[in-house]
Structure 1
Amino acid sequence: MAVILLPQNIYEQFSTCLPDKLEEEISRASIRLKLQEPPKAVEERILYQLELDRLSGLKYLSQLRKGKLSLEDFNLKVELVAS
């Protein structure tokens, strides 16, 4: 499994917000991805994958905040990158 790249600013924004705000963002991102047409062009596939990685990173962050994922396991799955 590949490490998910998550921008540092997204991590900072959602690591300290109210839990409901994080869950709402996960829900919105999930709905956006489901409503998108399948990406055809290379650029569309790249943007789709970036959004999918962002969603996965937010889900792992949610698990971390709920105590379902240790910080060590989070760091094995997600790498924070400069924004």
Structure 2
Amino acid sequence: MFRNQYDTDVTTWSPAGRLFQKKIFKVDDHIGVAIAGLTADGRVLSRYMRTECINYNFNYESPLPVGRLVVQLADKAQVCLLNLRSPNFL
């Protein structure tokens, strides 16, 4: 039987002995994210957080405080909820 080489099952191992899905993302030098669930949503959220960290570092020449990033992420989720948009944060 033919097998898809792009399996999305978490328990599917590559021939090299690694998992196919990446569940830990580096956002900044001092922030990392581990996700459970859909990796597509995690990638979107980590990309948003990475962009916020880069913009803050460009404007203020210091790393973005973790608390401020959490508040910005919560505000983004709240806006999506109030506008009745889909919860995919796009």
Please give the range of the TM-score, normalised by the shorter of the 2 chains: 0.3 to 0.5
Q: TM-score under structure 2 normalisation?
A: 0.32
More helix by share: 1
Give the structure with higher Rg (CA): 2
Q: TM-score under structure 1 normalisation?
A: 0.34
